[in-house]
């Protein structure tokens, strides 16, 4: 990789890390602060629906903005909106209201997806199209380290709240965001990623092919995670097993950190045999098998809960196994979307894909609360959420079947092109 590209990658990574650290810390800050004010868990969780909903809208339109004005504009916009969200929360810290939190979360959700889309699209521009193994390694490193940093952010959020309070925590994070914003704005190329051709809103939707099938598979994959992980699991641990809030937050933080470590190391074990580094990058067929493998931990948790094996051990062990397999899936997905995206349409294609990701998170979050409550909460509610997750996994894996054919046809077109 040329020296200038290495510099750009380092700047992008540091910027993305700082944003992710504040994103994780802010979520924990809001959760802990509102919990201390007496808000119920379901009420707190509902505040994050704006965060997910605006992620859907942002990814769809963000790809068009990035393609039209360049990735630097979307990256700068995301960081600026995070500054705005932190400023709003800092200003209203003394009397934090539900509407204020919802609006701030909306801005933060837009900021997250603009920043993520920009950072991942930039990698396509700094890695040679012929270096598929290198692309897999760089994407996995950025994505895996991001998730590890987000888990660390959970701890940072709790520590800041306990030492300097809510308002000064928001101010401190705003200073960090401002610093990387200035650095990225000064050092990154101005119009990187902008299209040389006219971009229309209709062109935001890719033609039927690998990106469409991969995006739909991603929707059900992340829906399968969030339908039991986001709401049902932490409420079950707190209300049924009697875990303290810091124990629940600590478990989720450790899970995300471990998830990120596995994701960053995924190139060593998810690819096929062969290639210059002993492994060739994974394809759609391998993604299908890795997705289907998620059935094992989910079915095991369900069976052990029915057999009345101690729930704490069952959930911790099952969550760990689920995390390893899910991280491998996420790494393959993150690589494939960047690999599939055409060079001059990378922002639009990545934006469309992460719109599906945000839709999956939104659907999973809503169903996590609805199914858990409808099934009676407690163990029956968690079991119902796990069963729903199993169904989503089967759908996600099944969608890899047409993806294999679409990938093969697209590969044939690329080989036949002059």
- Map out the domains of the chain with their CATH numbers: 3-416 (1.20.1250.20)
Give the SS3 label for residue 131.
coil
State the Cα–Cα distance between residues 51 and 44, nearest whole angstrom.
12
For residue 274, which phi and psi values (nearest 5 degrees)?
105, 180
Query: Which spans in 37-48 are helix H?
Result: 41-46
Pair of tokens at residue 65: 């903005």
Backbone angles phi, psi at 129, to 5 degrees: -60, -25
Q: H or E segment at 370?
A: helix 346-374
Q: Residue 49 in contact with residue 369, Cβ under 8 Å? A: no
Place of tokens 């229309």: 200
Structure tokens at 175: 């200073």
The C-alpha atoms of residue 119 and residue 110 are separated, in whole angstroms, by: 14
Q: What pLDDT tens digit does each residue of the chain (418 aa) get?
A: 556 667 777 888 888 889 989 988 888 788 777 767 777 656 666 677 777 788 788 877 776 776 677 777 888 888 999 999 999 999 887 777 778 888 888 898 888 888 887 777 777 776 766 677 777 888 888 888 888 888 888 888 888 888 888 899 999 999 999 999 998 888 776 655 555 556 666 666 776 689 999 999 999 999 999 999 888 888 888 888 988 767 877 888 889 889 889 988 888 888 766 544 456 788 999 999 999 999 999 999 999 999 989 999 999 999 999 999 999 999 999 899 888 887 556 777 888 888 898 899 889 988 888 898 888 878 899 999 999 999 999 999 999 999 999 998 887 654 444 4
Q: Which residues does 127 contact at the CB level (< 8 Å), separation at least 6?
A: 1, 5, 134, 135, 138
Contact assessment for residue 185 and residue 79, using Cβ atoms and an 8 Å cutoff = no
How many helical (H) and strand (E) elements, i.e. helices and strands, does the chain have? 16, 2
Residue 86: the pLDDT is 93
The pair of three-digit structure tokens given for residue 245, joined into one six-digit string: 């809030």
Extract the tokens encoding 227: 């339908």
For residue 396, which of 208, 225, 213, 220 has the smallest C-alpha distance? 220
- In order of 168, 180, 218, 275, 369, the CA distances from 45 in angstroms are 24, 30, 23, 45, 9
Residue 418 has a pLDDT of 42
Query: What is the Cα–Cα distance from 185 to 77, expressed in whole angstroms?
Result: 11
Q: Residue 262: is it exposed, middle or buried by C-beta count within 10 angstroms (0-12/13-18/19+)?
A: buried
Give the long-range contacts of residues 292-297, CB within 8 A, separation 24 or more: 292/393, 292/394, 292/397, 293/325, 294/224, 294/322, 294/325, 294/326, 294/329, 294/393, 294/397, 295/390, 295/393, 295/394, 296/321, 296/325, 297/321, 297/322, 297/325
Please, is 387 exposed, middle or buried when counting C-beta atoms within 10 Å of its C-beta (0-12, 13-18, 19+)? middle
For 387, the token pair is 């069963």
CA dihedral angle for residue 24, residue 26, residue 353, residue 268, rounded to 10 degrees = -10
Question: Cα(7)–Cα(70) distance, rounded to whole angstroms?
Answer: 18
């Amino acid at each position: 990789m040329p020296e200038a590209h290495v510099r750009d990658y380092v700047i992008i990574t540091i910027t993305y890390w700082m944003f992710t650290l504040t994103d994780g810390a802010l979520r924990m800050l809001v959760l802990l602060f509102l919990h201390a004010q007496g808000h119920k868990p379901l009420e707190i969780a509902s505040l994050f629906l704006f965060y997910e909903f605006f992620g859907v809208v942002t990814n769809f339109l963000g790809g068009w903005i990035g393609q039209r004005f360049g990735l630097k504009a979307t990256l700068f916009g995301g960081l600026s909106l995070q500054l705005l969200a932190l400023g709003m929360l800092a200003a209203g810290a003394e009397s934090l209201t539900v509407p204020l939190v919802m609006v701030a979360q909306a801005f933060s959700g837009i900021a997250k997806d603009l920043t993520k889309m920009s950072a991942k699209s930039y990698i396509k521009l700094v890695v040679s199209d012929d270096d598929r193994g290198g692309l897999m390694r760089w994407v996995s490193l950025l994505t895996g380290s991001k998730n590890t940093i987000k888990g660390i952010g959970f701890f940072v959020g709790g520590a800041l709240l306990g030492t300097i309070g809510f308002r000064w925590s928001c101010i401190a994070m705003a200073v960090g965001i401002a610093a990387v914003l200035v650095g990225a704005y000064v050092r990154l190329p101005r119009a990187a990623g902008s299209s040389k051709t006219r971009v229309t809103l209709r062109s935001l939707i890719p033609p039927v092919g690998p990106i469409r099938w991969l995006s739909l598979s991603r929707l059900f994959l992340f829906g399968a995670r969030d339908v039991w992980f986001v709401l049902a699991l932490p409420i079950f641990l707190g209300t049924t097993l009697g875990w303290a809030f810091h124990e629940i937050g600590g478990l989720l933080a450790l899970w995300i950190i471990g998830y990120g470590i596995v994701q960053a190391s995924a190139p060593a074990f998810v690819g096929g045999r062969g290639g210059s580094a002993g492994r060739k990058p994974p394809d759609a067929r391998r993604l299908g098998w890795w997705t289907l493998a998620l059935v094992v931990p989910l079915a095991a948790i369900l069976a052990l809960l029915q057999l009345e094996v101690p729930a704490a051990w069952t959930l911790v062990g099952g969550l760990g196994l689920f995390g390893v397999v899910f991280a491998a899936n996420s790494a393959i997905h993150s690589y494939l979307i960047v690999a599939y995206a055409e060079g001059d349409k990378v922002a639009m294609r990545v934006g469309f894909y992460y719109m599906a990701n945000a839709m999956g998170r939104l659907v999973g979050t809503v169903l996590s609360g609805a199914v858990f409550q409808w099934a009676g909460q407690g163990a029956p509610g968690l079991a119902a959420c796990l069963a729903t997750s199993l169904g989503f996994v089967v759908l996600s894996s099944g969608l890899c079947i047409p993806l294999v054919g679409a990938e093969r046809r697209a590969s044939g077109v690329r080989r036949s092109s002059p």
